[in-house]
Chains A and B, each alone.
Chain A
Amino acid sequence: EVQLVESGGGLVQPGGSLRLSCAASGFTFSSYEMNWVRQAPGKGLEWVSYISSSGGIKYYADSVRGRFTISRDDSKNSLYLQMNSLRAEDTAVYYCAREASRGSFGYWGQGILVTVSS
């Protein structure tokens, strides 16, 4: 069974940093492209970042480029999102998602809440 479990969320002050982790199991992690998707309270889904299966290709949404960094450690079956210079508008539930057919997200974690507030 595919499982994705996020951790590392919480309350952080504006300008602060946080590192999210996503532990994967039930599939060959190194073979899959992975993503982070977020959802602000009461709002829709917003794609945040992508990393290729090799880790050599990374994409970012304009709203986080230059502040967030995606990475992976295949030896630990884990995906990460380093978030720096956090803003109030980064407050959201963050999901890690495994890519499936042609750019779809076939599996999602349960999500982790990040709150940016003073």
Chain B
Amino acid sequence: SYVLTQPPSVSVAPGQAARITCGGNNIGSKTVHWYQQKPGQAPVLVVYDDSDRPSGIPERFSGSNSGNTATLTISRVEAGDEADYYCQVWDSSSYYVFGTGTKVTVL
């Protein structure tokens, strides 16, 4: 089965950039999506197709994908960005795979 690995936590000061990695075997050959989930709420798609943003998602959210690592970058972090973030891909053998999740804490 295909596995996606994320760091359990990332801490960042307000106004700085947060970078969340998602590691997987040759993930650069797959299409990566990212979700934000705040406590008690359903996940929200923040980046799709590696680097596109749904309407209503701030430009501060961006994504990249190459080699064995995909990255979600949140620029100019705000207190409201504090949440859990999950990467996700579609794999022909495992179908839909989510990453282990990263808790972003704004200091």
CB-defined contacts of B37 to chain A, threshold 8 Å: 45
Given A46-B98, A59-B95: A103 touches B89 (CB 8 Å cut-off):
yes
List A1-45 residues whose CB lies under 8 Å from chain B.
Answer: 35, 37, 44-45
Q: What sequence of 0s and 1s flags, for each residue 75-105 of chain B, a beta carbon within 8 Å of any chain A beta carbon?
A: 0000000001010111000011111110000
Those of A47-78 within 8 Å (CB) of chain B: 47, 50, 59, 61-62
CB-based closest 9 A-B pairs:
A103-B90, A47-B96, A104-B33, A108-B42, A44-B101, A45-B98, A104-B48, A102-B31, A59-B95
A118-B96 Cα distance, complex, nearest whole Å: 31
B44: interface (CB < 8 Å) = yes
Instruction: Verify B86–A103 contact, CB threshold 8 A.
Output: no
The size of the chain B interface, using a CB distance under 8 A, is: 25
Assess whether A47 is in contact with B42, with CB atoms less than 8 Å apart.
no
Given known A-B contacts A35-B96, A45-B101, A104 and B88 have beta carbons under 8 A apart:
yes
28 of the cross-chain contacts (CB-CB < 8 Å) are: A37-B96, A44-B84, A44-B86, A44-B98, A44-B100, A45-B35, A45-B37, A45-B43, A45-B88, A45-B98, A50-B95, A50-B96, A59-B95, A95-B42, A100-B48, A100-B54, A102-B33, A103-B33, A103-B90, A104-B33, A104-B48, A104-B88, A105-B35, A105-B45, A106-B48, A108-B42, A110-B42, A111-B42
Please count the residue pairs between chain A and chain B whose beta carbons lie under 8 angstroms apart in the complex.
Answer: 63
Task: Assess whether A104 is in contact with B49, with CB atoms less than 8 Å apart.
Answer: yes
- Please give the number of chain A residues whose Cβ is less than 8 angstroms from any Cβ of chain B in the complex: 22
Pick from B1, B43, B49: contact of A105, CB under 8 Å: B43
Residues of B within 8 A of A45 (CB): 35, 37, 43, 86, 88, 98, 101
Please, which residue of chain A has its CB at the minimum distance from the CB of B47? A104
A111 to B48, CA, bound (A): 22
